[in-house]
Amino acid sequence: MAASVSAGEGPSDLSVAVVENALMERVYAKLSAVYDVAFGPVLQAGRERAVAAMGQTAGCRVLEVGVGTGLNLSLYQPGTEVTGIDFSQEMLDRAGERAAREGLVPRLFQMDAADLRFPDASFDIVYAPYVISVVPDPVVVLREMQRVCRPGGRLLMLNHFRSTHPVLSRLEQWISPFTVHIGFKADVDMATLFARAGVEPDWVEKVNRPKIWTLAHCTRPRRPE
């Protein structure tokens, strides 16, 4: 079931586009066969940078939210305990096939990113590659990511966010209702997302070429002593 927007939190300042899980499920069922060709090499530099930013992960529990066809799986250091979830069973099946070919053993689950079926503080690192602009309610997803991350653990988001340039911003808002039909919202506002989710980024940097994608790194606050 698609997540709803909380009362009093209209979507227009976060994104003008509205998507439902059912639409994204249909889109990615069709895209699964060509995803690696269409979105593999052009976005791989960002994936590599995100995993590198995790540092030493051997022995760490990593949750990948939106594992897709598994393009990140071979990037993790040996000994990393990787769990991947995706809403699309077709994408998840391809991730499983990739893992088998590459001799990897991640845990893979079909799951809604807005309803992560894991206990609080289950993971050391929670990573969302190119998924925030796909989900119906990014705020709920980011809150869920924070919930399942241990205090002092890290959240990483790799995504295209709305430009701060006024002309590009208007263009992205104009095309966003159309880009959902190829799998993403073009105009998610990063500042609004973080403010509503109560998450403060430690740093952000532009990745890929052209540098219109963003990698954001956050640390979940530790509990008061």
Q: Summarize pLDDT for 171-225 with one digit per residue, the tens.
A: 999 999 999 999 999 999 999 999 999 999 999 999 999 999 999 999 999 875 4
Radius of gyration of the chain (CA): 16
CATH code for the domain of 215: 3.40.50.150
Q: Does 13 fall in a domain?
A: no
Instruction: Please report whether residue 99 resides in a domain.
Output: yes
The reported pTM is 0.93
Q: How far apart are CA 153 and CA 183, in angstroms?
A: 29
C-beta of residue 84 within 8 angstroms of C-beta of residue 95: yes
The amino acid at 126: V
Q: For residues 184 and 166, what is the distance between their CA atoms, to the nearest angstrom? A: 21
| Structural domains counted in the chain | 1
Q: What is the pLDDT of residue 12?
A: 58
- Examine residue 8 and state whether it is found in any structural domain, yes or no: no
**204 domain residue, yes or no:** yes
Is 6 a member of any domain? no
In this prediction, residue 4 has a pLDDT band, given cuts at 50, 70 and 90, of very low
* pLDDT tens readout for residues 154-166: 999 999 999 999 9
Tell me, yes or no, whether 34 lies in a domain: yes
Pull the structure tokens for residue 100: 């088998």
Q: Does any domain span residue 76?
A: yes
Residue 210 counted as domain residue: yes
The model's confidence at residue 104, banded by pLDDT at 50, 70 and 90, is very high
Q: Inform me whether the pLDDT recorded for 7 exceeds 60.
A: no
CA 161 to CA 172: how far, in whole Å?
9
Domain that holds residue 196: 21-219
